[in-house]
Amino acid sequence: MFSQIIHSSRRISGHVMTLFLFTKSDVLTVILPITLFALAAAPHLQLANIPHTIIWIWMHILKHDISNQIQDPEEDRKNKPDRPLPAGRITTHNAAYVRWLLVPVCLAFSAKYGRLAFASSTCLEALSIWYNNFGGDKAGLSKNLLTAAGYGCMEVGAIIVAGTCSSPCIDSIGARAITFSCAVFATTLHAQDFKDEEGDRSTGRRTLVTLFPTFSRMSMMIGIPLWSFCLSRLWKVDYICSAAFVTYGMIVGARFVVYKTASADKESCKLYSLWFTIAHLLPGYWRFFYST
């Protein structure tokens, strides 16, 4: 009896780990920033809803990541062999089954928080289908635009889930925060592609990094510090914190130009993720110091 319990526990933990590995690469770049963004931008934050917010974000990321990774498992076998499909932790058929099972689960969970959360979940599903079936992952600039649109939908849903169920809404500050977050993401998203540049070239994947290698690196050096300054002014950050944020942005942006090895790009991507996360906290700074 006891051995059966241990065996069942190991199987369950193995399945949980498999699901986590589908989303592992998005923890720092999507799940953490959007969670903090929702807490900072929600007009009526409910602390009890924080776990719900994290679960809502993770389930939608999981659904998209599974849909994306079953498209071309061979590419991941070359570039990211630790993912569940190339690692043999789950079959493509079973992964597709989980992906479609998550659709009604996500919609039902979202409906609990009102029409806007439900609409966000529906839009995310539509964008995921378009992205994975009409070449969004292999079409350079369109990847940035489609991903930014999905990012915005996810931020809308996360803010609604994080707030009070009696008054699910997004105020003008939240709307402004979502707009600029999408703009920042659309223009800097390719920071994540540098570390995979060699593998993307070998598989014929078209990203800004593979299509315009020099321009994409220069855009990091210019864009990240420029966005740091603009966001600091937008959210009326004090001069000392603004200077620190802009300086950090200059360091991160310059790394993409100065250091071009695969290992250096991985480190630069981590530093970019931290910068992006800090940027997502700035609406909270405004609410704390200026909201009446």
> Which of these three, 151, 170, 189, is where a domain ends?
170
**Is the per-residue pLDDT at 198 higher than 90?**
no
Same domain, 196 and 166: no
Which band of pLDDT confidence, cut at 50, 70 and 90, is reported for residue 166? low
Q: In this structure, are residues 194 and 73 in contact, taking their beta carbons and an 8 Å threshold?
A: no
CA distance 232 to 236: 6
Same domain, 154 and 33: yes
pLDDT digits 0-9 by tens, 218-227: 999 999 999 9
Same domain, 140 and 180: no
Same domain, 142 and 188: no
pLDDT digits 0-9 by tens, 259-275: 988 899 999 999 999 99
Same domain, 164 and 175: no
> Which of these three, 147, 170, 193, is where a domain ends?
170
What CATH number is given to the structural domain containing 114?
A: 1.10.357.140
Question: Domains in the chain: how many in total?
Answer: 2
Same domain, 201 and 137: no
Q: What is the model's pLDDT at position 233?
A: 96
Q: What is the model's pLDDT at position 292?
A: 58
Same domain, 179 and 84: no
> Which of these three, 170, 189, 223, is where a domain ends?
170
- Structural domain boundaries enclosing 224: 171-292
Same domain, 7 and 124: yes
Same domain, 119 and 199: no
Same domain, 218 and 197: yes
Same domain, 84 and 127: yes
Q: Give the predicted TM-score (pTM) of the model.
A: 0.88
Same domain, 42 and 28: yes
| Structure-block tokens of residue 247 | 């300086």
